[in-house]
Amino acid sequence: MQAYDKGFAKVYDLRWSGFARQVAPLILDFYAATPIAQENKTVLDLCCGTGHLAVHFLARGYRVVGLDLSDHMLHYAREHARQYIQTGQATFIQGDASNFTLDERFGLVVSTFDSLNHLEHEQALYRCFQCVYAVCDGYFIFDLNTRRGLKRWNSIQVDDSDDDVLIINRGIYDGHSDKAWTKITGFIRLPDGRYERFDETAFNTVFDMAKVRDAMLAVGWKNVYFARIQDLRTPLDEPEKEGRVFIVAVK
């Protein structure tokens, strides 16, 4: 799985953490309405990034463990959740989503912003499902970019909307292969006025949605369906027609 360096983590926290803040209330509303949530207010935020989804749950009384491969991402997560770490309500640990074990068990495991697309292949995704199954007593909710959705990566984008940050994003995807790639180059203004450069190359693996569901059922999940984030209760009949889908699994 991919990890991220210091410069990228800083820009991610500034520019791309909005997705977590957007989806967190919708996931919480869905989970809070389930019978399991009445008894179990523990959450594993898998590939937690800089911790904004975790903080949303923490602020509403949930116990949260965040796991991420990147020490630099975890630095920001710990900063954002500092008050909850001090009281023992939050813990953030380094780990690989496809190879982890935890002593604690959770009512909800969640992973967002196509984090699991960053796993290298179907075998790694299957191992992730096994790891999650071993620590989950309720729901597993995560999102994936579809093949259709990844076509939007095939472009060059320049973000110079902020004088302190310049980001150049060059994506490549032919619509047929099993990987979409993007190279992100950024320049961050330092306190002395100079700019620090970072380069990050990331990929998304294209997963067939039917195979994803079959793999989860094979691991042992009892009910698995695809949904839009706006309505996590309603299954989608044709997830491949979406750009991004959320997968809801119940143990």
Question: In the structure, what pLDDT confidence band is assigned to residue 28 with cuts at 50, 70 and 90?
Answer: very high
- Tokens describing residue 225: 């369906």
Report the Cα 105 to chain-centroid distance in Å: 19
CB atoms within 10 A of CB 143: 24
Residue intervals of the chain classified under CATH 3.40.50.150 are 4-145+205-248
pLDDT band at 3 (very low <50, low <70, confident <90, very high): low
For the chain, strand residue ranges (E) read: 42-46, 63-68, 90-94, 106-111, 136-145, 156-162, 165-172, 179-189, 195-205, 223-227, 244-250
C-alpha 175 chain-centroid distance: 23
| 137: Cα separation from own chain's centroid | 20
Residue pLDDT, tens place only, 119-153: 999 999 999 999 999 999 999 999 999 999 999 99
Nearest to 179 by CA among 196, 210, 156, 202: 202
> What is the structure's pLDDT at 2?
61
Which residues in the chain are classed under CATH 2.20.25.110?
A: 147-203
Report phi then psi at 18, rounded to 5.
Answer: -65, -30
The amino acid sitting at 233 is: R
Comparing CA positions, the residue from 53, 236, 50 lying closest to residue 146 is 236
What's the predicted TM-score (pTM) here?
A: 0.96
Measured between alpha carbons, how far is 103 from 244 in angstroms, rounded to an integer?
A: 32
**% helix, strand, coil for the chain, step of 5:** 35, 35, 30
Mean pLDDT of the 38-53 span: 97
Give the largest Cα separation in the chain, rounded: 56
Q: Could you confirm whether domain 4-145+205-248 is CATH 3.40.50.150? A: yes
Q: What CATH topology corresponds to 147-203?
A: N-terminal domain of TfIIb (2.20.25)
Predicted confidence band of residue 104 (pLDDT cuts 50, 70, 90): very high
